[in-house]
Amino acid sequence: MQQTTIAPLLNNASIAAERLVSVLRIAVTLGLFTVFVVTVAGLDFSTLAPFLHRQLLFAVLTMFAYLMLGVVTFAATTLGWFRPWMSWFSVTADCGFLLFNVWFSLENSSYPGGVALLLPPAWLVPLVLAYGVMRMDPRLQLYTTVLLSAGLGGLIFWPDDRLDVGQLGILHSVLDTPANVMKLTMILLAGLVMVLAAARMRRLFYRELEAADARANLTRYLPAQVADQLADGGLLALQQGQRQPMAVMFVDIRGFTQWSETRDPQEVGDFITAFRNEVEDSAARHDGMIDKYMGDAAMLLFDDAPVAMGQPNGAARALACAATLSEAIHRWSDRRVAAGEPVVEIGIGVHAGEVFSGVVGNAARLEYSVFGDAVNTASRLEQHSKTVPQIIIASAATLTVAGIEPSRQRWVALPPVTLRGRSKVIEIYGREG
């Protein structure tokens, strides 16, 4: 995939991740504030030490500031102001809030740096690291890990002459240098693991984008079903081709050439677009494959692959699609007539038989092709529909393969014909739309 194609997708993913992080900031802050209110509701503030008054006030101000960071980031990502590079400032803000809170708690309480990892602000370290994983950017994750580890390490081991750690009695064992080194090591290792997780998530996401882009590019030139196989690495098998049973359907607009000669090009283009929309909708309803468009005509294919999923075989789906398309064109024609436009009439030919199918060409230019007598017969049947009152013509073999009894589904036996290019007579049936 070209970088010019994938870059916008990655940028959109980064902005979406940042929006999610902003929502989590808001949710976490509101949750902490709720717990804070419930916790301090029963306190007698007159009995609290001055440093606790400062600590409570600072906690409220900090939560409000963090809430505003979440709100501003959410607004920026929602309104389209946010750019992916701004995530570096967002990450710095997350780490800065945490480290500043730990520092203030130490300064306000005169605790030694050894207790830094025991203070409530430090408990948010896993949350800040988790934010980085959501961004799926190993660079941001590594930056977060280094910033938190260096900042907390500086606070823990910054020399000071305040309260001796040994005076804290039984807490001495968890506050001395070896214990704090272990805590920092655990944070560093956890952060590095998350760096690898973010890198893996990004690679997987990148591959999915590549596959999606490959399918999108291929479907511009190939049927969607074939494009999926190619995107999954099946080019060699498709180039080798195969013989398989398949139902082929041709549809053509009657009198289009004469009508288009007197029309504006824009009107002709809109007309063809509307026609193809009806063809695509009908094909999608019956799991048909649009092989190609030829001006005002189309060729559709119906293989037996969906049978394993409990769907009818290709011949039955082709006949059902023909009926659906005929009805759709009839409704479209009625709307046009009501608007003062000429009626739209079509002819459809359907035949089921063995075909050769495969992809020809190279990676630079691929084309899915279907060859065989079944294709030629379906095309001749569509042309023969111009000579009979019925809109849809199908060979008797097609109805047999589909398991249809003609008399029960409004099929009318037509005089057998010898189609152009064939020496044998073929039995055919016709049906109104």
The domains found in the chain, sorted by start residue, are 5-217 (no CATH), 235-431 (3.30.70.1230)
**Confidence band for 290, pLDDT divided at 50, 70 and 90:** confident
What is the pLDDT of the chain when averaged over all its residues? 79
Q: What six digits make up the tokens of 367?
A: 């084309």
| Cβ-based burial of 318 (10 A; exposed 0-12, middle 13-18, buried ≥19) | buried
- pLDDT digits over 233-261, tens only? 444 545 556 788 889 999 999 988 888 88
Chain position carrying tokens 């952060």: 191
Amino acid at 129: L
**Confidence band for 173, pLDDT divided at 50, 70 and 90:** very low
Percent of the chain with pLDDT over 90: 25
Chain position carrying tokens 């602000």: 121
Instruction: Work out the angle at residue 205's Cα, subtended by the Cα atoms of residues 202 and 207, and round it to the nearest 5 degrees.
Output: 110
CA distance 242 to 111: 78
- Whole-number pLDDT of residue 326: 94
- Whole-number pLDDT of residue 210: 64
- Whole-number pLDDT of residue 292: 87
**Confidence band for 3, pLDDT divided at 50, 70 and 90:** very low
Amino acid at 100: F
- pLDDT digits over 145-167, tens only? 889 889 988 888 876 665 554 44
Q: Range with the lowest mean pLDDT among 107-111, 347-351, 379-383?
A: 107-111
- pLDDT digits over 43-54, tens only? 676 776 676 677
Q: Range with the lowest mean pLDDT among 19-28, 108-117, 327-336?
A: 108-117
- Whole-number pLDDT of residue 257: 86
Nearest Cα neighbor of 332 from 287, 276, 382, 383 is: 276
- Whole-number pLDDT of residue 224: 56
Query: Which contacts of 279-283 are long-range, i.e. CB under 8 A and separated by 24 or more positions?
Result: 279/251, 279/325, 281/328, 282/321, 282/324, 282/325, 282/328, 283/321
Residues 6+ apart with CB under 8 A from 366: 218, 221, 222, 230, 235, 359, 360
Crossing angle of helices 50-79 and 87-109, in 10° steps, is 170
- pLDDT digits over 13-54, tens only? 778 888 888 887 888 788 878 877 877 777 676 776 676 677
- Whole-number pLDDT of residue 298: 94
- The answer, yes or no, to whether residue 323 has pLDDT greater than 90, is yes
- Whole-number pLDDT of residue 360: 66
Half-sphere exposure of 121 (CA within 13 A, CB side): 27
- The maximal CA–CA distance of the chain, rounded, in angstroms, is 109
- Whole-number pLDDT of residue 282: 94
**Confidence band for 169, pLDDT divided at 50, 70 and 90:** very low
**Residue 317 near residue 288, CB atoms below 8 Å:** yes
Bridging pattern class, strands 392-395 and 346-362: parallel
Nearest Cα neighbor of 117 from 126, 93, 108 is: 126
Q: Which residue has the higher pLDDT, 115 or 80?
A: 80
For residue 306, count other CB atoms closer than 10 A to its CB: 16
- Whole-number pLDDT of residue 350: 96
**Confidence band for 174, pLDDT divided at 50, 70 and 90:** very low
CA distance 405 to 236: 41
- Whole-number pLDDT of residue 283: 92
**Residue 110 near residue 163, CB atoms below 8 Å:** yes
Q: Which residue has the higher pLDDT, 73 or 244?
A: 73
Q: Which residue has the higher pLDDT, 333 or 138?
A: 333
Chain position carrying tokens 């047999």: 400
**Confidence band for 1, pLDDT divided at 50, 70 and 90:** very low
Instruction: Work out the angle at residue 41's Cα, subtended by the Cα atoms of residues 40 and 43, and round it to the nearest 5 degrees.
Output: 65
Nearest Cα neighbor of 131 from 174, 73, 49, 58 is: 73
Q: What DSSP character marks residue 296? A: T
- The answer, yes or no, to whether residue 382 has pLDDT greater than 60, is yes
Q: Rounded to the nearest 5°, which phi and psi values hold at 230?
A: -65, -45
**Confidence band for 366, pLDDT divided at 50, 70 and 90:** low
**Confidence band for 223, pLDDT divided at 50, 70 and 90:** low
Q: What is the mean pLDDT of residues 394-398?
A: 93
- The answer, yes or no, to whether residue 186 has pLDDT greater than 70, is no
